[in-house]
Amino acid sequence: MDEVRYDDESDDELDHEDSPTIPARDAFRRFWPLTRGLRGRLMAVWLCTVVAALAETEAILLFSDLTDHALEKGSLSAFWEPAVKWLGVAVVGALVAYAGNSLAALLTERFVMRLREHVFDHVQQLPPHFFQRHRQGDLLSRLTSDIEAIETMVVSGLVGAASAAFSALFYAAAAFWLRWDLAAATFVLAPLFWLAARRFSGSIKDVSREGRVADGAITSVVEESLGNIVLTQAYDRRDAEKRRLHEEATAWFRASVRSTRLNEAYEQLVQVIETVCVLAVIGIGAWEISTGRMTLGQLLAFAAFLGYLYPPVRGLAQLGLTVTAATAGAERLIEILDVPPAVADPRHAVDTGRPDGTVEVRDVSFTYPGTDKAALTDLSFTVSPGELVIVTGPSGAGKSTVSKLLLRFYDPDAGELLLDGVPLRDLPLSRLRAYVTLLPQETLVLHDTVRANIACGRPGASEQAIVEAAKAADAHDFIVRLPDGYDTRVDPHSARLSGGQLQRLAIARAILRDAPVLVLDEPTTGLDSMAARRVVKPLRRLMTGRTTIMITHDLNLAPDADRILVVDRGRIVETGRHDELLARGGAYARLHRSQNNAVMDTGELRLPLFAEPPAPDTYEPYAQQGQGPEQWQPYPQQPHPEQQPHPQQPWPYVYEAPYGTVATSLSDGRPLFRDEAAPWPGI
């Protein structure tokens, strides 16, 4: 489909206030290509409308014949022939109209389906930031009611316009054929219809646009409010939410009332114009009959033609207004269609088959579209097949951005990411995402059965493979205890499964996918420590034999990593193994300390990663080298200079792991990551 770009080219903003004004003609051209394959049937519908209009014209002429020959002369014998013809014409007209309308309905629905799929497919390719920056309710409204508006413009508009135009043409031709002078006199008044439609169209388009924006806003408020119901109830925000809805509903109410008023005013004005025309015809007709130049049958037939002629003429003008209003919907959809996908399939794709899993990130820099601060700068690292690399760092450092680039949600601005030496840009997207599996930060659940939720890792997987994946993810036991076992339906907001259980479902899905490269984004975030511990074993089974890049704050898993990358402000600031980095006593050691010492957390997190080394007398841990956690010593935490400790209330004591040792268990005795002797056999 041709891409028509409009004034606002800013790639992803859906500007509600100043929507680009697109002429109906351009909007029509934009969506016309979607009728490809339906145009033959569209022609058939037009043909039906022509035949139906001809049948009606013939029926009116037969009515004139009946009036003049049967009614005026009171002759029954003159009745039968035109009556039978009229009946025949009516039956043919009815059959053709039925066929035409049915076909038109089929066309309409097909078009709506196509358009919806086209827009939906496009939206699915849009980059993550598009969805973060736009209200879901508004997007939903665009994908539903605005799509229907476009149908009005393209298919129903065309069918309706053709039907009205043919009917008007035939009735006008018949009126001229009956009495050209009378017809000419009445047609002088026709421009009045056009003037009336012109007068109203601008206002109707404006008010339709306002209505559509308000409609999107209402859906957004309802959607956001229901999605945040716990916040609403816990903080007693009912009144605030009601106010928000009321504001949007008031905008919609105003637009809706104004739109009804405008349409009604237009309707009534047209009625008055019609009355003027009918009176003109009756007046001229009465004068013609009085002078003997016209029969009553002719006058009645003429009046009937005018009666039939006005609805299509009015319909044409009304259609203009409907199309104008629909253009407001088209604008909103075109805005979405003009947002380009962040990445596209390569023109000449390279696919060398299942890779071993060497991941290389080479001098990568990236800034999110619409921002000016780099999220990643000159990032380089390599992960060999089967290695586990942990990417850690403070919040906002750029860790999740690495995962987005590895899955190619975005391409880097500079540098390259490679899988087995092949740039990710050269791999077909579907292959790339089959080779690199993401376990995202938030647990993603389909509104479907537990089985379908696991099976979506590998569509078409056998029941046995699904169950084995569930077992490997330690999910089988809780699944079989669910009311319908694997057939239990779950949904994203289901309270049926706990966070840890959902995460194990996600792990089962990833195990089934069996990709050589895994990207785990905070696999234990949001889980309490018990739940987090329960996912460690399944995670380990998942990681066995795969290249794994784990993005995490949770450094419990760090001793197992082949390498740890500490990222801060988009750059790698430290690299090494857990013990080396601890011994170095730099950024990683501080992160590790802040995590493992709950009491110290708040104070430590406020320390910048690159603070000057503190004075030895205040910061040096009391730890004694070479001792296990049970012997770790408390040391006093540094108070803020402005806050003096209360004489009776000492500053909290925290526990510090001695640098240069490799911890084998946590300070509370919990085992660290390596707590399972034999690796889990791959599935």
* Distance (Å, whole) CA 583 – CA 570: 24
Which of 6, 79, 368, 635 is in the footprint of ligand ATP by CB under 6 A? 368
DSSP letter for each residue of 282-312? HHHHHHHHHTTSS-HHHHHHHHHHHHHHHHH
Q: Name the residue nearer to ligand ATP (CB basis): 371 or 644.
A: 371
Q: Name the residue nearer to ligand ATP (CB basis): 395 or 625.
A: 395
Minimum distance from residue 313 beta carbon to ligand ATP (Å):
53
* Distance (Å, whole) CA 571 – CA 588: 14
Q: Tell whether residue 395 is a contact of ligand ATP (CB under 6 A).
A: yes
Q: Name the residue nearer to ligand ATP (CB basis): 398 or 658.
A: 398
Q: Name the residue nearer to ligand ATP (CB basis): 473 or 565.
A: 565
* Distance (Å, whole) CA 239 – CA 279: 58
Residue type, 480: V
Q: Name the residue nearer to ligand ATP (CB basis): 70 or 342.
A: 342
Minimum distance from residue 606 beta carbon to ligand ATP (Å):
16
Element (DSSP H or E) covering residue 391 = strand 388-392
Q: Name the residue nearer to ligand ATP (CB basis): 21 or 377.
A: 377
Q: What beta strand segments (E) does 470-509 contain?
A: 489-490
* Distance (Å, whole) CA 493 – CA 491: 6
Which of 57, 401, 594, 595 is in the footprint of ligand ATP by CB under 6 A? 401
Q: What is the CA 299 to chain-centroid distance, rounded?
A: 60
The stretch among 105-113, 192-200, 368-376, 488-496 that binds ligand ATP (CB under 6 A) is: 368-376
* Distance (Å, whole) CA 295 – CA 283: 14
* Distance (Å, whole) CA 354 – CA 363: 25
DSSP letter for each residue of 560-577? G-SEEEEEETTEEEEEE-
Minimum distance from residue 400 beta carbon to ligand ATP (Å):
3
Minimum distance from residue 109 beta carbon to ligand ATP (Å):
37
The stretch among 125-133, 322-330, 346-354, 529-537 that binds ligand ATP (CB under 6 A) is: 125-133
Q: Tell whether residue 398 is a contact of ligand ATP (CB under 6 A).
A: yes
Q: Tell whether residue 649 is a contact of ligand ATP (CB under 6 A).
A: no
Q: Name the residue nearer to ligand ATP (CB basis): 273 or 364.
A: 364
Q: What is the CA 41 to chain-centroid distance, rounded?
A: 31
Three-class DSSP category at 491: coil
| Dihedral sign for Cα atoms in the order 255, 26, 29, 315 | positive
How many CB atoms sit inside 10 A of residue 458's CB? Answer: 18
Q: Tell whether residue 132 is a contact of ligand ATP (CB under 6 A).
A: yes
What x-and-dash track marks residues 229-268 binding ligand ATP by CB under 6 A?
Answer: ----------------------------------------
Minimum distance from residue 595 beta carbon to ligand ATP (Å):
13
How many CB atoms sit inside 10 A of residue 442's CB? Answer: 12
Q: Name the residue nearer to ligand ATP (CB basis): 67 or 552.
A: 552
Q: Tell whether residue 129 is a contact of ligand ATP (CB under 6 A).
A: yes
Query: Strands 388-392 and 547-551: what pairing?
Result: parallel
Q: Name the residue nearer to ligand ATP (CB basis): 396 or 671.
A: 396
* Distance (Å, whole) CA 599 – CA 603: 8
Contact between 480 and 495 under an 8 Å Cβ cutoff? The reply is no
* Distance (Å, whole) CA 420 – CA 434: 14
The stretch among 54-62, 165-173, 398-406, 484-492 that binds ligand ATP (CB under 6 A) is: 398-406
Minimum distance from residue 417 beta carbon to ligand ATP (Å):
15
Contact between 446 and 452 under an 8 Å Cβ cutoff? The reply is yes
Minimum distance from residue 584 beta carbon to ligand ATP (Å):
21
Q: Tell whether residue 406 is a contact of ligand ATP (CB under 6 A).
A: no
Q: Name the residue nearer to ligand ATP (CB basis): 525 or 661.
A: 525
Minimum distance from residue 412 beta carbon to ligand ATP (Å):
13
The stretch among 147-155, 271-279, 397-405, 501-509 that binds ligand ATP (CB under 6 A) is: 397-405
Q: Tell whether residue 644 is a contact of ligand ATP (CB under 6 A).
A: no
Minimum distance from residue 378 beta carbon to ligand ATP (Å):
15
Minimum distance from residue 375 beta carbon to ligand ATP (Å):
4
* Distance (Å, whole) CA 186 – CA 459: 68
Minimum distance from residue 432 beta carbon to ligand ATP (Å):
20
Which of 371, 625, 643, 648 is in the footprint of ligand ATP by CB under 6 A? 371
| Dihedral sign for Cα atoms in the order 495, 501, 503, 505 | negative
Which of 30, 212, 399, 537 is in the footprint of ligand ATP by CB under 6 A? 399
The stretch among 128-136, 265-273, 412-420, 611-619 that binds ligand ATP (CB under 6 A) is: 128-136
Query: Strands 414-419 and 422-423: what pairing?
Result: antiparallel
Cα–Cα distance list, 89 to 53, 54, 83, 194 (Å): 11, 9, 10, 32
Q: Tell whether residue 524 is a contact of ligand ATP (CB under 6 A).
A: no
Three-class DSSP category at 366: strand
Give the count of residues interacting with ligand ATP (CB under 6 A).
14
Contact between 367 and 375 under an 8 Å Cβ cutoff? The reply is yes
Minimum distance from residue 131 beta carbon to ligand ATP (Å):
9
Q: Name the residue nearer to ligand ATP (CB basis): 12 or 146.
A: 12
Q: Tell whether residue 291 is a contact of ligand ATP (CB under 6 A).
A: no
| CA atoms in the 13 A half-sphere facing the CB of 73 | 11
* Distance (Å, whole) CA 324 – CA 93: 31
Q: Name the residue nearer to ligand ATP (CB basis): 436 or 565.
A: 565
* Distance (Å, whole) CA 121 – CA 10: 21
Q: Name the residue nearer to ligand ATP (CB basis): 327 or 556.
A: 556
* Distance (Å, whole) CA 661 – CA 577: 12
Minimum distance from residue 397 beta carbon to ligand ATP (Å):
4
Q: Name the residue nearer to ligand ATP (CB basis): 100 or 393.
A: 393
Which of 217, 389, 397, 506 is in the footprint of ligand ATP by CB under 6 A? 397
Q: Name the residue nearer to ligand ATP (CB basis): 161 or 397.
A: 397
Q: Name the residue nearer to ligand ATP (CB basis): 602 or 631.
A: 602
Cα–Cα distance list, 331 to 15, 113, 213, 255 (Å): 11, 19, 11, 18
From 422, 393, 647, 679, select the one nearest 560 (Cα to Cα). Answer: 679
* Distance (Å, whole) CA 288 – CA 294: 6
Which of 51, 61, 316, 375 is in the footprint of ligand ATP by CB under 6 A? 375
Minimum distance from residue 329 beta carbon to ligand ATP (Å):
28
Report how far apart the first and last C-alpha atoms of the chain are (Å, whole number): 44
Q: What beta strand segments (E) does 533-595 contain?
A: 547-551, 563-568, 571-576
Q: Name the residue nearer to ligand ATP (CB basis): 281 or 406.
A: 406
The stretch among 236-244, 390-398, 555-563, 600-608 that binds ligand ATP (CB under 6 A) is: 390-398
Beta bridge partner(s), residue 550: 390, 520
Element (DSSP H or E) covering residue 374 = strand 374-383
Minimum distance from residue 130 beta carbon to ligand ATP (Å):
9
* Contacting positions for ligand ATP (CB under 6 A): 128-129, 132, 368, 371, 375, 393, 395-401
